[in-house]
Amino acid sequence: MKGIILAAALLTAATGTAFAQQQPQFSHYGFNGMYLNPAYAGIKGQAEISSFGRIQYLNYSASFDDGGSPKTIMLTGSMPVRALGGGIGFHVFRDQIAQLKITNAQVSYSKHFKIGEGRLGIGIQGILNYVGQGIYRPIDEGDPRVPRSGSDHKFDLGAGVWYESEKLYAGLSLNNLLRSNYRFNSDAGSTTAEFLNENHAYLTAGYNIEASSSVVVTPTVLMKMVLPGKFGDSNKFTFKNNSYEAGVRATLDDKYWAGVGYRYDESFTGLVGLSLFKDNAVRLGYAFDVIAFNQDARALSSHEIMISYRFPKPSLTTRPAIHTPRYSF
């Protein structure tokens, strides 16, 4: 497509008909259920809050001086609410890829059902998305499809299901249900430059294997899907727009963990982390991606940190026994 010089090389679908991943990716996806799925809210039975920071393709050198490495920061939170029969949650992230800046805020509610040894959550979310564009260098001056700074914001929706038990978790979600279309001033002076937020879906699962009394091994998988077009279109569901990840980590005494992962056709990942304080409430994690494939328009590595806090699980309160001489026989 004529007109876009920057950002397309950085895997963004800011304009035109490219269907690359539009939402940020995280190597800590096994610790990041609230970002992936609204049905995760409160499903763990305890409140938790997590923050993530990611620099993708560190030290990437753009063709011009206004590119650079994609950067993402995010905060998530989740808690069970007994009165609602489920849980509530939120996440907020700020994502910057060259001249494209996205701020996304979501609130979620999940209804929980007892299924076998675990719980099934059915969740919905409201999404407020803010998209800001910078100044691009068009090949053809006056191209009406090239953004010329400006911003737009839209409301959107998402939904998902999540199953959680002591050994197994699995979730499927779909967001950007409204496929909101953002409009910006163009290089031609009109508001014809657009950004279409396509439907995204996430399918993830993990299984805890007790290797010993103190070591748990957890294989994990994640499939990220971009679903272009309207529902009913012939090319709506196609594997060419999918991204795949798989990994495994080992956790010692719920305190220390290390793992490896693979992102299809892109990178290998290493994970390390530890928990601190009473009940291992605070978790610190670090992920390092080595870009092994398709290195054009990418740098050698990506880096990610995680800090989270798990609140104590709520305990059932019981009234103290009332002693009376009447029943003291």
Which band of pLDDT confidence, cut at 50, 70 and 90, is reported for residue 247? very high
Does pLDDT of 320 surpass 70? no
DSSP reduced 3-state for 29: helix
pLDDT digits (tens, 9 = 90+) for 82-109: 999 999 999 999 998 878 899 999 999 9
pLDDT at 274 over 60: yes
Determine the pLDDT at residue 100.
Answer: 85
Are 191 and 221 in contact, with CB atoms under 8 Å apart? no
Q: What is the pLDDT of residue 48?
A: 97
Q: Mean pLDDT over residues 242-263, rounded?
A: 96
**Tokens 């049905």 found at:** 39
Mean pLDDT for 218-226 is: 96
| Tens of pLDDT, residues 14-34 | 333 444 457 898 999 999 999
Share of residues in the chain with pLDDT > 70 (%): 83
- Distances 177 to 91, 128, 303 between C-alpha atoms, Å: 17, 12, 31
Q: What is the pLDDT of residue 224?
A: 94
Q: For residue 1, what pLDDT is reported?
A: 32
pLDDT given for residue 2 in this prediction: 31
Beta strands in 165-214 (DSSP E): 168-175, 181-184, 193-196, 199-207, 209-210
Lowest mean pLDDT among 30-44, 137-151, 220-234: 137-151
- The mean pLDDT of 27-51, rounded to a whole number, is 97
Please write down the long-range contacts of 291-298, taking CB distance under 8 Å and 24 or more positions apart: 291/57, 291/266, 291/267, 292/266, 292/267, 292/268, 293/265, 293/266, 293/267, 294/265, 294/266, 296/9, 297/9, 297/10, 297/60, 298/57, 298/60
Q: What is the pLDDT of residue 231?
A: 84
Per-residue pLDDT band at 189 (split at 50, 70, 90): low
Average pLDDT over residues 250-274: 95
- How far is Cα 248 from Cα 250, in angstroms, rounded to an integer? 7
Which range of 147-156, 173-182, 309-318 scores highest in mean pLDDT? It is 173-182
State the chain's mean pLDDT as an integer.
85
Q: From CA 228, how far away is CA 220, in angstroms rounded?
A: 26
- pLDDT value of position 234: 83
Question: Which residue would you say has higher pLDDT here, 291 or 124?
Answer: 124
**Residue 122 predicted with pLDDT over 50:** yes
What three-state secondary structure class fits 197? coil
Q: Tally helices (H) and strands (E) across the chain.
A: 1, 17
- pLDDT number for residue 283: 97
In the predicted model, is pLDDT for residue 60 greater than 80? no
Q: Which domains does the chain have, with CATH numbers?
A: 23-310 (2.40.160)
Of residues 66 and 79, the one with the higher pLDDT is 79
| Rounded Cα distance, 225 and 21, in Å | 8
The model's confidence at residue 140, banded by pLDDT at 50, 70 and 90, is confident
d(CA 35, CA 92): 9
So what's the pLDDT on residue 214? Answer: 95
Q: What is the pLDDT of residue 209?
A: 97
Q: Is pLDDT of 305 > 90?
A: yes
CB count within 10 Å of CB 287 equals 24
Mean pLDDT of 100-128: 96
- What is the mean predicted confidence (pLDDT) over 266-293? 94
User: What's the confidence (pLDDT) of residue 308?
Assistant: 97
In this prediction, residue 316 has a pLDDT band, given cuts at 50, 70 and 90, of low
